[in-house]
Amino acid sequence: MSYRAPLSEYQFLFDHVVNYSEIAAQDRFEDATSDVVAAVLNEAGHLSADKIAPLNRNGDLTPAYLENGVVRTSPGFAEGFKAIAEGGWIGMSAQPEFGGMGLPMTVTTAVNEMMAGACLSLQLAPLMSQGQIEALEHHASDELKALYLPKLISGEWTGTMNLTEPQAGSDVGALSSKAEPNGDGSFSVTGQKIYISWGDHDVAENVCHLVLARLPDGVAGTKGISLFLVPKYLPDDAGNPGVANTLKVVSLEHKMGLHGSPTAVMQFDGAKGWLVGPEAGGMRAMFTMMNNARLGVGGQGIGAAEGALQKAMIYACERKQGRSPIENGTGTIMDHADVRRMLAVMKADVFAARAIALMCAAAIDMQSATGSSGWGAKAAFLTPIAKAFGTETGMRVSEMGVQVHGGMGFIEETGAAQFYRDVRVTAIYEGTNGIQAMDLVARKLMDGGDAAFALLDEVEQFTEAAREACPALAEPLWEATESLRETTEWMLAQDALNTRFAGAVPYLKAFARVLGGYVHLKAAITEQRKGSRTKLATVYMARLLPEHVSLLSEARVGDSDLYALSADELASV
């Protein structure tokens, strides 16, 4: 199957849903006109379809492997990464003074999603570099920026993120990696890290690791953690890769999917590194990278969903099975109501998830262009929703894509199962979706709910304006928004965080469902409720938005029922 970048969808969302013209009107992005953006997206679409998508199956069937201490990547991946790097796609939103394009994050989000839909395993490499670039831009010294940013932006070098250890997963503060000052401004970093995406490879000259470690006087927990930049090869006086640093790949993980993406166990043995940000400021610096990655990972889920949807659509339009239940049918399974239901729901969810991710990116762009705390609060609130809902959509749509294929979906040769296997980890890495939800009901409500209520006000104001013209779509959305407002107030009234946490995941899902209704209503109003987008919005409002009722009910149950069952009772056979 040939992947096709959904360029018309991006253009529609930019023009009619996320108000890209407002971003382009800012001085910071004045060169990123609509015409320029259209050309950028078109070029990225061709790259994704022609150069990257053909590598997807290779990565699955011929995984990366470790040979004599060096990771060898899947056939064609080096050439694919070179095409991404030479096109400048790694540094799309990076600072121009270091070789970046300085484009809005909204554009980068769309391009990253395209590449993820084409080949998720390969796209993960530039995504990691983009996160490291942003972390260095915000926190590194001028010397480190001058040396590393041009190389990372050009793709000559790549970046990684090293947080997790065998005994310290989500509890980062339990890490045992240590850093000792060398007396010359550098540090010796020692420890082992696991689950390091693209921790080593043969597609670029150098690999630059951002590593969390504790200095000798670092206090326990996250407050005592610092961040260090530790390259695979130490740069020489000319800034080129020199002698090998004292670090190595211990092994590569054997994974359910993403076989083409090498996930390494990394060992640092007094490896030379440099401090990024202040001492004990590691978590703040690392979260800059992680927040960038969380939006990107949400886009990975959406990209996988798009790929799975396209494959399922093609199969449904070609597969002949049984008698057509409708007059003048095609004779394919597309005629059958349940297949039509699955495809319509898949398409409606992909649209909703994509729009939410672009709304988040647009808020980031407006905050960076204006410095507005309101835009910043909106971006922060939308980030966990974009990550969790994007990846949940990826899993749900790719799983449904297997179902559309029937028995053939369970056969690996069709390629339908790969989308599900590849996307499954996106709900786990960069903070599990449960952690995203806990963040939403805890940190993101610490403002008294201001950001949440501002977003709900935005939805209700638009819905109010649409009630007379489009009551069939606006009325259920208005009611859902009011119910979500009431549950938000309930969350704020709970002093015990564990009570909130017990309902955090359904609360996040319900918020995403309401936002999905909002963007579908926008789409319907744009075409004056007469076309295919109105029909798709009708599917969403009738079949997906109603989920908010049970989700909000669960969100308000509390935690007493969960702890009424003892650990022994839960574990009993």
pLDDT one-digit tens code per residue, 208-251: 999 999 999 989 888 889 999 999 999 999 999 999 999 999 99
Residue 385: name the closest of 369, 363, 401 by CA.
Answer: 363
In a domain? residue 247: no
Q: What are phi and psi of 94, to 5 degrees?
A: -75, 160
Catalytic residues: 430
- Write the CA distances from 38 to 22, 35, 127, 189, 400, integer angstroms: 16, 5, 22, 45, 31
Q: Quote the pLDDT of residue 172.
A: 75
In a domain? residue 453: yes
In a domain? residue 550: yes
In a domain? residue 394: no
Q: pLDDT, tens digit, for every residue of 314-333?
A: 999 999 988 889 988 889 99
Look at the chain and report how many structural domains it folds into.
1
Other C-beta atoms within 10 Å of 55: how many? Answer: 22
In a domain? residue 551: yes
- Residue 250 is given by DSSP the state E
Euclidean distance between CA atoms 488 and 82, whole angstroms: 47
Give residue for tokens 């018309």. Answer: 8
Residue 145: name the closest of 81, 229, 215 by CA.
Answer: 229
In a domain? residue 252: no
Other C-beta atoms within 10 Å of 559: how many? Answer: 16
b/e 471-487 (16+ beta carbons within 10 angstroms → b): eebbebbbebbebbbeb
The length of the chain in residues reads 573
The pTM of this model reads: 0.96
Cβ neighbors of 449 (< 8 A, separation 6 or more) are: 488, 489, 491, 492
The alpha carbon of residue 458 and the mean position of all alpha carbons in its chain are separated, in whole angstroms, by 24
Q: pLDDT, tens digit, for every residue of 100-151?
A: 999 999 999 999 999 999 999 999 999 999 999 999 999 999 999 999 999 9
Assess contact for 140 and 148: CB atoms under 8 A.
yes
Mean pLDDT over 530-546 rounds to 96
Other C-beta atoms within 10 Å of 374: how many? Answer: 14
- Write the CA distances from 310 to 314, 350, 404, integer angstroms: 6, 11, 11
Other C-beta atoms within 10 Å of 513: how many? Answer: 25
Cβ neighbors of 249 (< 8 A, separation 6 or more) are: 66, 69, 70, 71, 199, 200, 264, 265, 266, 267
**Confidence label for 290 from pLDDT (cuts 50, 70 and 90):** confident
In a domain? residue 123: no
Query: Taking the C-alpha atoms of 261, 267, 270 and 274 in order, what is their torsion angle to the nearest 10 degrees?
Result: 30
Give residue for tokens 């930019």. Answer: 14
Euclidean distance between CA atoms 286 and 56, whole angstroms: 30
pLDDT at 298 over 90: yes
Q: pLDDT, tens digit, for every residue of 153-209?
A: 999 999 999 988 887 767 777 788 999 999 999 999 999 999 999 999 999 999 999
Q: For residue 267, list its beta bridge partners.
A: 192, 248
In a domain? residue 532: yes
Q: Quote the pLDDT of residue 169.
A: 66
What is the domain extent for residue 493? 442-560
